[in-house]
Amino acid sequence: MKILITGSYGQLGRSLLESFKIYNFEIIQTGRNISIREDGIRLDIQDSINIKAILDLHTPDIIINLAAMTNVDMCEKQPFLAKEVNIGGVINICDNFKGKILHLSTDYVFDGKNGPYTETDKVAPVSIYGQTKLAAEQIIMNHNPDNLIIRGNVLYDYTLYTKASFLNWVLDSLKNNRTIRVVDDQFNNPTWTKSMADIICLCVKNDISGIYHWGDADFVSRYEFAQIIAKKYDFDNSLINPVSTNELSQIAPRPLKSGLISDKIINILDVIPPSIEDCLSGISKKIE
């Protein structure tokens, strides 16, 4: 089976490539910006002609769409661009592809008043990012009910290749003795990209369709998560100061009490979400 991945040079894409190594699939790696040291196919999902040409040439059976404008505040500042990438890009893929699409979405489709959430809870995004990701979900599922949406939240790894990882920001700040202010009233279940990538592989292998949540085991505030990181890697945790979302004045509104309940996929795939502690142990080698 041939699988084409968009946005495959981001943090989740890199974990996904690692996880796919134990499977016998042919992977076609694409990205908008590919460094000269790396192989791959340039594919901007905003460019419908480019998508058609690449799909005609490589004829994948499945597309895994990871490409997205993931900076939540940037989406709020540039709503037109956010819609072009996160909605327009998905329309371009659907217009040019008849096979199965696996699409990554987010707990930001919820308003954060009463999380953590199951797949049947009411969606009500409070930010442009959340609105664009929800619109994309609806396009994907209307296009073909066999498609698959996996919602994730606070994906992290320690990698040079992204600005989307909370772990990178915390560790790089603490290593450089920089004080950080971290919100203590935004709750989620942070998820290692390897944990999400392994689930994506199992979903492909088992041909799962529909909408599913996947999040790791521990529900914590961002502040608690930063404290766990500092303790695990032996950094000075007094550099981490709690702050409320109101005080921080982030550009985009955030769902506060959010996070994802993964029971639906746990029951189907017979999997167990890992703890933060186990995930950070797995990442340790990359930090030294």
User: Does the protein bind ligand NAP through residue 7 (CB under 6 A)?
Assistant: yes
Part of the chain binding ligand NAP (CB under 6 A), chosen from 2-10, 167-175, 205-213, 268-276: 2-10
User: Does the protein bind ligand NAP through residue 279 (CB under 6 A)?
Assistant: no
Question: Least distance in Å: CB of 242 to ligand NAP?
Answer: 21
- Residues that bind ligand NAP (rule: CB under 6 A) add up to a total of 30
User: Does the protein bind ligand NAP through residue 131 (CB under 6 A)?
Assistant: no
Contacts of ligand NAP in 154-183 (CB under 6 A): 154-155, 162, 164
Please select the residue that binds ligand NAP; options are 31, 60, 115, 259, rule is CB under 6 A.
31
d(CA 86, CA 68): 5
Beta strands at 210-213 and 41-42: parallel, antiparallel or unpaired: unpaired
What lies within 8 Å, CB to CB, of 251 at 6+ separation is 73, 76, 77
Part of the chain binding ligand NAP (CB under 6 A), chosen from 4-12, 90-98, 204-212, 273-281: 4-12
Question: Least distance in Å: CB of 288 to ligand NAP?
Answer: 22
> Per-residue b/e over 173-207, b at no fewer than 16 CB within 10 Å?
bbeeeeebebbbbbbbbbbbbbbbbbbbbbbbeee
In the bound complex, which residue of the shown chain has the CB atom lying closest to ligand NAP? Answer: 10
Task: Catalogue the E-assigned strands of 214-266.
Answer: 220-221, 240-243
Please select the residue that binds ligand NAP; options are 19, 106, 131, 132, rule is CB under 6 A.
106
Taking CA atoms, 110 is separated from 122, 193, 255, in Å, by 7, 21, 7
Task: Name which of 186, 44, 69 is nearest 132 in CA terms.
Answer: 69
d(CA 14, CA 95): 26
In 176-216, where does DSSP find H-type helix?
193-205
Question: Least distance in Å: CB of 193 to ligand NAP?
Answer: 7
At 50, phi and psi to the nearest 5? -60, -45
Please select the residue that binds ligand NAP; options are 4, 68, 141, 148, rule is CB under 6 A.
68
Please select the residue that binds ligand NAP; options are 33, 238, 249, 267, rule is CB under 6 A.
33
User: Using CB under 6 A as the criterion, which residues of the chain lie in contact with ligand NAP when the complex forms?
Assistant: 6-7, 9-13, 31-33, 43-46, 66-70, 85, 89, 104, 106, 133, 152-155, 162, 164
